[in-house]
Structure 1
Amino acid sequence: MRRSSFLWSLVSSLGSLGLLSKAVPLNSPSVKFISPSKVSPGSAQNVVVEYTGDVDGHLTLSYGACSDETTASETAHHIGSTHVGQHPLAKRHLDHREKRPTRFVWLTSDDISSGCLSAFLDGELVGQSEKLDVVKRLARRGEKKKSFADVAGDDSLWFDGVAYLKQKQPDAVFVTATKNKTFGILGGGMSGLLSSLILDSVGIHNWKILESSERIGGRVRTVYLNGTSPEDGQYHELGPMRFPYELTDSETNETFPFMDQRMIFQLADVLNGMNSGNKSLQVEFWDWIQSSPNTPVDTPFRRPDGTWPTKAEVANDPAYYNPPVYHNETAAEEAIEALDDFKGLTPERIRMYASNIFKAYKQAKEDGSFDYSEVSYLRDVIKADLNTTDEVSPSHIYWPMWEYETVYFLASKWVTIKGGLSRLPAAFEPHVKDRVQYKAKVNGLHYNKNNTLSVFWKPTGSEPFSTPNNVENFYYVLNSVPLNLMKFWKMPRYSSLLKRAIDRTLYANACKVAVQFKTRFWEHLDKPIIGGCTRLTSPQLGQVCYPSWHINSTGPGTMLASYLSDYEATAACAMSEEEHLAYIKNALIEVHGDVVEENWTGHWARQCWEQEEHHAGAFTMQIFGQQHLYLPAFYQTEFNTVFIGEAATFTHTWIFSALESAVRGSVQLLLDLGLVDEAKQVTQTWMARWIDV
């Protein structure tokens, strides 16, 4: 039982001497603890209080023994201190009612035992909680429950809020920020859009998206040819176009899903709920046919009529067999075997990639996969000769052996979005339309003395020499702009590592061309092509994808006639559109015959991502060694800037990469604000439901 009568007598006696006039007996405390009522060892918590009187001075929260005689110096754990109320140093809390914050951040120790939270004002006890229960984290199947940091590794600190917050000075993150501050989101691509949704979900509504183009969605771009609408099916994707859904083990015939891709489906479910009642905004999925037996194959051999043989024909007819030729076959076989051994894509490893991409990433780091490209491994470790190396792995391949994409393309089932992937960002439009500034091309950031960020931008397409900058001020900025574009910005003095990450991260180019034909002629060939993608390099078309939707329908059809990456894309984009389309048309005639000429409409769309002013590249393609060097820099907030986007995460290129970065960045921002409970809510909602730790 608390000795409140003793404390009251003591305070009264001291008060008669003119001392401790602000002290309040604990049967009438000035500070009441609302939450938490229980804690876990080694965790981050929000402490919520309310004030029942004038609390002005130096406020300290501590944890320790439950006693009216407790002093600040005797408590077991100092949580944090700040000035509140009418104290001159409380001006920093102007956003809080009467300059008295009511939420604080508490990092519990690993060896915490039962006790009470205590509040001290200028060293005197003015409030104490009931005794808190210490709840041990539940073990899973007899094992210690792991955090995301345990799974993903030490450069994924955002998963572990305790580790992230411990890097900061205790009092710097002690007071939780209010939610009415202003937040800027630079870029209206998928990471920026999901970030806005997440902020809204935790009660932060004072955000604004600055988007340099006239649309949202970023590199998600479906083209609807000849003035058609999504339901007409006359479209193809100039950006991402499919999602790996599940993988079948060829030995056991067991099928298991790609768990990381579940984030896309979860997002669609959330948006469909937000847009219930509006059928035009519903996001629906249907099958994507990635592989089809009758797609043409890149081979020097031709059918008697001069057209190209199909995948099935090449597999079954020895006359079409075209084995690779090496100058030293034994050396080439040894090099290929060495690469396979190093990558170690066993059935167990493949399943790990599909079921837990974070665990796969940690394993890849431990295996040294990010330390070598295929070429550097063959040359520097295996000591293969230069010619063999170039035969086995083209010498321009500089990226690390992080094989998640290899595993993706082992998928036995793929899906895409009905009506085109642009339906996904379109579902955000009703919820962001009043908080997006379109045609706002950012050219710089400035960190101000009042700890805010000024964002400088000009209207896209404005006269560059004389148009003055517009300036928007934000408390924090979530920056999803491609790093390529930031190379020309004026920015705060970021750390050396972050500055190098911005300056030196490489982007690959891509060129995609969609063409509409009078009929779906490919479905009426002697060997009908029902969906599927193939790769043709002579002539140089790259990937060609036949549509997986509206199979055997009448009327026109649209196919992805060419998808080139990197250097080939740069060369193709140097041509005029007409020159390039003439090349594509003649190439398709060579593949399929005169039926191409007969069905040519002259309706097409070409996207050269490297020449796109809003992106200056298609996707991140880091040199080996860059990823695990630069990634930790993106996971730290500098000058109130949080970096998100597919470049600022551990996988790249895919929509999942952008979405994962948005969750990480939002959690990182919430932790910076001291909103620990909200950070936990976001992690639980967007990560823990589908990733097993």
Structure 2
Amino acid sequence: MAAPAPLHVVIAGAGLAGLCAALELERRGHTCTILEAESRHVGGRVRTLRFDDGLYGEAGAMRIPKTHTLTRHYVAELGLTLRPFVQSNPEAFVFMRGRRERMHDVTKLGARYGLAPGEQGKSPDDLWAASLGRRLEAMTKDERADLLLTEPRTETVRRLDRLSLRQLLEAETLSAEAIELLAVGAGVDTLLDAAATEHLREEHVAVWTQGFDEIVGGSDRLPVALATKLRSKPRMGAQVIRLEQDPLKRTAAAVYREAGRLRRVEGDFLLCTLPFPVVARIEVAPELSGEKRRAIRELGYDSATKILAVTGRRFWEQDDHIYGGGTYTDLPTGTTWYPGDNATARDPRVSAAPAVFLASYSWGQTARRWASMAHGERSQWALRHLARVHPQLASPDVVRRTASWNWDTHPWSGGAFAWFMPGQHTALHRHVVAPEGRIYFAGEHASLTHTWMQGALESALVAVREMLAAASS
């Protein structure tokens, strides 16, 4: 929809949502001022950590589901290259209750659990299919579609929305032991008390079953490419501290701090793409509605910590024959991810060369416990625990350096991603996404595709469409 005259939109945040919205607005003849608190980084929680000799690892987004066609659209348009991301590898390990097995032998670990007779001999995938998968299959077409609406309408989905994942699994008659086996084996043990509908929604749209790709050269190439296309480049080091709007003048403005000085920029609309933990501390005048303020206060955000290690060789390929994929554990390290760039060629020269692997990827309270430690201590303890899975790590010369990142402690994030607690889809989501006068909202939290780059991009397009419609009315 075209606005009657060129608009000026102020955009708070140069993450994927802000950059995408700016690109689409400029394409339609409008102008933008993009304010970004970071001094050098664009992309928000798309952040690639780079090391010597071209090595890199992802502190944030690291994979693109096959079903995320919007993300793939921009990747292709911007001339970026994809390669397969190895999500599942039967040669990777599962470590539970002190025992290590290959993924293809995961059912052997069931002997360590007090499983009910009907649960014995089943893998985590089997248990998932027999519980959450079965519940989804029992839903009607309309009920499944209801999972994707701004506010659920059917009583079935509203009832399911009140359940945590743990409660849904219990309702499907899984024992506590089976729930632990499933949760650790699927990497969702820290998400058991969050909303079951988050998982039903991802299962419905086949996020985890159709395969994944990754951006060659690092995920940050996507936001950098988006920023390069813009006529109005993000204003870096511009920390937004106040949002304002004047209904009579039909304007919105941001007050920001840049190089120690307060500045103000005004536009026809303001698009706020900042994560809600950041929005919570920003002044807004006139004050936001009670419903919006409650959504900002209460929306669930999960934690995430990643600990990366640069190694002198790919011992997981040379010794363990693991080419990509993830290892799942009940250790403090959570999951471990191996680079998949050599999964097809299996070139021994690549295996013998230095590489980066994601030694520890954790969510929830596990991630927060790592965040309480300084990086050096954090990485030492993580590698010590992971040596139970990979004894090679006990040798002092295997790891050359480490890096880590926690999103809770990053001042411009305050959390890793939005993830509903029970009841929040029904009670909060419509207030999360609703505009407040001339102020609109975008970001993965303003979508139902939480955690993913796709969610940020989807929300940007919705916000652009709604601002242009409002300008035309």
TM-score (normalised: structure 2): 0.84
Contact 2:91/2:103 (8 A) holds in 1: yes
Contact 1:183 1:474 in 2 (8 A): yes
Preserved contact between residue 400 and residue 625 of structure 1 (Cα < 8 Å): no
Partner residue, 2:78: 271
Correspondence for 1:534? 327
User: What is the identity, as a one-letter code, of the residue corresponding to 1:189?
Assistant: G
After superposition, the C-alpha distances for 1:399-438 in whole angstroms (9 at most, x for unaligned) are 2423233464642422111111111112123223743110
Counterpart of 2:148 (choices 361, 366, 386) is: 361
SS at match of 1:401: helix
- Tell me whether 1:208 sits opposite 2:7 in the alignment: no
Corresponding residue for 2:251? Answer: 452
In structure 1, how many angstroms separate the alpha carbons of the residues matched to 2:178 and 2:131?
14
Distance in 1 between residues matched to 2:255 and 2:89, nearest whole Å: 50
Q: Residue 602 in 1 paired to residue 390 in 2?
A: no
- 1:232-381 pair list within 5 angstroms: 234-245=55-66, 258=67, 261-272=68-79, 283-300=80-97, 308-315=100-107, 318=108, 321-325=110-114, 340=131, 344-346=135-137, 361-362=148-149, 366=154, 367-368=156-157, 369-375=160-166
The residue matched to 1:298 in structure 2 has which SS? Answer: strand
Amino acid of the structure 2 residue aligned with 1:397: D
Q: What is the match of residue 472 of structure 1?
A: 265
- Structure 1 pair 548/396, CA: closer, same or farther in 2 (3 Å)? closer
1:522 matched residue in structure 2:
316
- 1:500 equivalent among 257, 276, 294: 294
Report if aligned partners of 1:186, 1:481 keep a CA contact under 8 Å in 2: yes
User: How far apart are the structure 2 equivalents of 1:190 and 1:383?
Assistant: 38
Q: Take 1:292 and 1:596, find their aligned partners in 2: how far apart are those partners?
A: 24
Partner of 2:222: 424
Distance 2:422 2:98 in 1: 37
Tell me the secondary structure at the aligned position of residue 111 of structure 2: coil
Contact 1:236 1:514 in 2 (8 A): yes
Distance 1:587 1:341 in 2: 31
2:418 paired residue among 620, 639, 661: 620
Instruction: Give the letter aligned to residue 484 of structure 1.
Output: P
Quick one: distance in 2 between partners of 1:262 and 1:383? 33
Task: Measure the CA separation in 1 of the matches of 2:75 and 2:101.
Answer: 40
Give 3-state SS (helix, strand or coil) of 1:265's partner. helix
Structure 1 unaligned runs (5+)? 1-44, 47-175, 246-257, 273-282, 303-307, 676-693
| Partner AA of 1:182 in structure 2 | H
| 1:476-491 → structure 2 map (5 Å cutoff) | 476-491=269-284
- Tell me how far apart the structure 2 counterparts of residues 582 and 575 of structure 1 sit (CA, whole Å): 11
Q: Is the 8 A contact 2:313 2:398 kept in 1?
A: no
**Structure 1 residues 339 and 472: alpha-carbon distance in aligned structure 2, compared to 1, 3 A threshold:** farther
Per-residue deviation, 1:656: 0.8
Residue 450 of structure 2 is matched in structure 1 by: 652
Give the direction of change, closer, same or farther, for the CA distance of 1:410–1:219 in structure 2 (3 Å limit).
closer
Instruction: Say whether the 8 Å CA contact 1:588–1:596 is kept in structure 2.
Output: no
Match among 381, 401, 415 for residue 197 of structure 2: 401
User: What is the Cα deviation at residue 513 of structure 1?
Assistant: 1.2
Distance 1:268 1:665 in 2: 21
Q: Which has the larger radius of gyration?
A: 1
Whether contact under 8 Å (2:10, 2:253) holds in the other structure is no
What code does the residue aligned with 1:648 have? A
1:195 aligns with 2:16: no
Shift of the 432–596 alpha-carbon distance from structure 1 to 2, 3 Å rule, reads: farther
Q: What displacement does 1:348 show?
A: 9.7
Query: 1:20 corresponds to which residue?
Result: none
How far apart, CA to CA, are the structure 1 residues paired with 2:262 and 2:98?
60
Partner Cα separation in structure 1 for residue 93 and residue 330 of structure 2:
12
Alpha-carbon distance in structure 1 between the residues aligned to 2:298 and 2:406: 22
Paired residue total: 446
Give the superposition deviation at 1:627: 1.9
Over 3 Å counting, the alpha-carbon distance change for 1:347 and 1:237 in structure 2 is farther
Q: Distance in 1 between matches of 2:104 and 2:169?
A: 33
Letter in 1 for 2:314: R
Deviations 1:143-174 (A, max 9, x none): xxxxxxxxxxxxxxxxxxxxxxxxxxxxxxxx
Q: Are residues 1:511 and 2:302 paired?
A: no
CA positional deviation for 1:309: 3.2
1:371 Cα deviation after fit:
3.0
The residue number in structure 2 matching 1:178 is 5
Maintained 8 Å contact 1:494/1:639: no
Structure 1 residue aligned with 2:186: none
CA contact (8 A) 2:307 2:402 kept: yes
**Residue 636 to residue 571, structure 1, CA distance change in 2 (3 Å):** closer
Alignment-mate amino acid for residue 207 of structure 1: C
Change (3 A) 1:417 1:373: same
Secondary structure at the counterpart of residue 638 of structure 1: coil
- In structure 1, what is the Cα distance between the partners aligned to 2:279 and 2:302? 16
Q: Distance in 2 between matches of 1:341 and 1:364?
A: 19
* Cα shift readout 1:557-602 (whole Å, capped 9, x = no counterpart): 1100000101000001111111111112222322222365255343
Backbone CA RMSD of aligned residues: 3.5
| Aligned mates of 1:674, 1:324 — CA distance in 2 | 62
In the TM superposition, 1:39-188 aligns within 5 A as: 177-179=4-6, 181-188=7-14
For residues 10 and 393 of structure 2, the distance between their equivalents in structure 1, rounded to whole angstroms, comes to: 52
Could you give the per-residue CA deviations for residues 617-651 of structure 1, whole angstroms, max 9, x where no partner exists? 00002222222322223444323001111111122
Change beyond 3 A, Cα 1:406–1:358: closer
Give per-residue Cα distances to partners, 1:87-139, cap 9 Å, x unaligned: xxxxxxxxxxxxxxxxxxxxxxxxxxxxxxxxxxxxxxxxxxxxxxxxxxxxx
What TM-score do the two structures reach when normalised by structure 1?
A: 0.59
The residue type paired with residue 310 of structure 2 is Q
SS of residue paired to 1:607: strand
- Name the CA distance, whole Å, in 1 between partners of 2:468 and 2:130: 42
User: Relative contact order (C-alpha < 8 Å, sep 6+): which is higher?
Assistant: 2
Contact 2:97 2:330 survives alignment (8 Å) = no
Equivalent pair of 1:519/1:599 in contact (CA under 8 Å): no
Distance 1:342 1:215, change over 3 A: closer
